[in-house]
């Protein structure tokens, strides 16, 4: 993490105890969750737009879904997770949260559950934060379920700095970075969408339909 990231993270308000415990658990167990400064930005965006429904691809332990539900009191989060253990942890965190009635978690593969998830649409926001090599497929499957002024948010699009500078001997990390780089190039060249990539946290892509 560079100095700028350290500085920005230091300005983010301290999480309340329940959220802080989730952050600490994720760090201790090496569970990838959204960076704090990225999460803060996303909540601000949802609050400003007053989004009613969000579809999240990649629940993990429920951290980002619970935090998004705190953006404003009318928002509802629909999320899907394919890892059974993570899903069960997310369900436990959901039940212990103060926003459980506004969270709907599904267990399964998002690439196979378009019809089931589509029943909850249309969505104001599609948040993609799952298997990096499948970002394009997630986008193609679920972007059509958005409202006309919907937003697609893709996390980790700079992937630890390796997308711009693949300076590592870890072949697995380089392979993931290559896939994300390909996705970014595809995303920014779409004729019907506009995309801005923001160097917040691990990189956030913000995509909207052209009107």
Cβ atoms 53, 29 nearer than 8 A = no
**3-state secondary structure string, the chain?**
CCHHHHHHHHHCCCCCHHHHHHHHHHHHCCCCCCCHHHHHHHHHHHHHHCCCEEEEECCCCCHHHHHHHCCCCCCEEEEEECCHHHHHHHHHHHHHCCCHHHEEEEECCHHHCHHHHHCCCCEEEEEECCCHHHHHHHHHHHHHHEEEEEEEEEECCCHHHCCCCCCCCCHHHHHHHHHHHHHHHHHHCCCCEEEEEECCCCCEEEEEECC
Portion of the chain with pLDDT greater than 90, in percent = 79
Backbone angles phi, psi at 37, to 5 degrees: -70, -35
Give the mean pLDDT of 28-48: 94
69-93, pLDDT tens digit by residue?
Answer: 999 999 999 999 999 999 999 999 9
Binding residue numbers for Mg(2+)? 129, 155-156
Give the separation between CA 132 and CA 189, rounded to whole angstroms. Answer: 19
pLDDT above 60 (res 1): no
9-28, pLDDT tens digit by residue?
Answer: 778 888 899 999 999 999 99
- Name the average pLDDT for the chain: 93
Task: Kindly report the pTM of this predicted structure.
Answer: 0.92
For residue 16 the two structure tokens come to 């309340």
Task: Indicate which CATH number applies to the domain containing 196.
Answer: 3.40.50.150
Overall domain count for the chain? 1
pLDDT above 80 (res 131): yes
Confidence of residue 2 (pLDDT cuts 50, 70, 90): low
Q: Which of 65-69, 91-95, 158-162, 167-171 has the lowest mean pLDDT?
A: 167-171
110-124, pLDDT tens digit by residue?
Answer: 999 999 999 999 999
Binding residue numbers? 34, 64, 81, 109-110, 129, 155-156
pLDDT above 90 (res 139): yes
pLDDT above 80 (res 68): yes
**pLDDT number for residue 162:** 83
**pLDDT number for residue 207:** 98
Residue of higher predicted confidence among 133 and 167: 133
Give the mean pLDDT of 152-162: 91
Cβ atoms 105, 87 nearer than 8 A = yes
- Edge to edge, the sheet with strand 193-198 lists 103-107, 76-81, 53-57, 123-128, 146-155, 204-209, 193-198
pLDDT above 90 (res 161): no
Binding residue numbers for S-adenosyl-L-methionine? 34, 64, 81, 109-110, 129
Token pair 């595809």 is at which residue?
186
**Domain of residue 174, residue span:** 3-209
């Amino acid at each position: 993490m560079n100095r700028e990231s350290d500085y920005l993270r230091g300005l983010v308000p301290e999480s309340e105890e329940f959220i802080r415990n989730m952050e600490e658990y994720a760090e201790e167990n090496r569970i990838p969750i959204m960076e704090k400064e990225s999460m803060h930005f996303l909540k601000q965006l949802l609050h400003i737009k007053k989004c009613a429904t969000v579809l999240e691809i990649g629940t993990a332990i429920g951290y980002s879904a619970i935090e998004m539900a705190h953006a404003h009191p009318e928002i509802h989060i629909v999320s899907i997770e394919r890892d059974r253990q993570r899903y069960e942890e997310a369900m436990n965190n959901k039940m212990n949260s103060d926003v459980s009635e506004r969270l709907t978690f599904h267990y399964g593969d998002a690439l196979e559950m378009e019809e089931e998830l589509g029943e909850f649409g249309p969505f104001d926001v599609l948040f993609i934060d799952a298997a990096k090599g499948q970002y394009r497929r997630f986008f193609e499957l679920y972007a059509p379920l958005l409202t006309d002024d919907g937003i697609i948010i893709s996390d980790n699009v700079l992937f630890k700095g390796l997308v711009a500078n693949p300076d590592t001997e870890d072949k697995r990390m380089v392979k993931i970075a290559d896939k994300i780089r390909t996705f970014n190039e595809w995303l920014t060249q779409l004729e019907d969408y506009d995309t801005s990539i923001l160097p917040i946290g691990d990189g956030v892509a913000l995509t909207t339909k052209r009107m």
